Amino acid sequence: MKILRTLVLFCLFFMSGYLFADSYGGEIVDAKYNYSSYDNASYLFTIGSVQNNGEYPLKDVTIEVQFFNKEGVVIDVDNKTLYWTRIAPNENVVFKVQTFAAHKQELYTSQKVRIVNAKQDIPCSKSSSNKKNSFISELIGMMLPILIFFIIFIFLMRKYQGKGSSQDRVVNLMENQVELVKKQIDELSKIADALTNKNNK
């Protein structure tokens, strides 16, 4: 039972990677920060740039800045969304995040800057086909872990159970399900290839 539970958790984790992993090609480069005090208040100024390495323009990019002490613990955080800013492919846009400093200057030793959200400005003519391709890719990604789980489960059942038993009949049923899932994945792959070839023409 422990083996089966581990396999189920592994499949769920594997599926979550397909469902939620998303990259738009945005990258933070040359990010630096300065500590400054004026008007009886202290501020941190983070200056850097967003590089668009993707295929489509980016807009509404949300940047998060985390500040750490010498132990590597987060002691401050801030974020900024670049509204009304459109970053074309291979273009570099400079940004500045002004943060009210909650601690003294000597406590701030490093920072981490990342993109936490962004939108792709995809042309209408390509948007629908890209959504179809994305949906098919996600569907295939969801089915692959299930297929792997079935195969491992069948292997274990075959190994520890005799022929003709109720477990053996369950294994036969699951083998039929595996074949069905394989056929569905093949059909989805053909559809995805056809859509990709159509978009490339």
CATH number at residue 68: 2.60.40.10
From 96, 121, 146, give the residue that closes a domain.
121
Q: Is residue 108 located within the same domain as residue 93?
A: yes
**Per-residue model confidence (pLDDT) at position 13:** 47
CA atoms of 33 and 44, how far apart (whole Å): 7
112 and 169 belong to one structural domain: no
Range of the domain at 141: 125-200
pLDDT for 93? 95
Whole-number Å distance between alpha carbons of 31 and 44 = 13
First to last CA, the chain: 51
User: Based on the domain organization, do 30 and 85 belong to the same domain?
Assistant: yes
Q: Is residue 190 part of a domain?
A: yes
Report the pLDDT value the prediction gives residue 156, as an integer from 0 to 100: 66
Assess whether 114 and 133 both reside in one domain: no
Which residue, 95, 121, 147, sits at the end of a domain?
Answer: 121
Question: Do 44 and 63 sit in the same domain of this protein?
Answer: yes
> Domain for residue 13, yes or no?
no
**Domain presence at residue 116:** yes
Residue 57 CA: distances (Å) to CA of 46, 60, 172: 24, 11, 50
Q: Which of the residues in the chain have pLDDT under 70?
A: 1-24, 124-142, 153-171, 197-201
Residues 99 and 143 in one domain: no
Structure tokens at 111: 């920072």
Instruction: Say if residue 169 is in the same domain as residue 107.
Output: no
Domain contains 138: yes
| Domains in the chain, number | 2
The number of beta carbons lying within 10 Å of the beta carbon of residue 50 is 23
Residue that finishes a domain, picked among 81, 106, 121: 121
Residues 35, 113 share a domain = yes
Verify that 113 and 130 share a domain, yes or no. Answer: no
Q: Quick one: 61 and 86 in the same domain?
A: yes
User: Is there a domain that residue 4 lies in?
Assistant: no
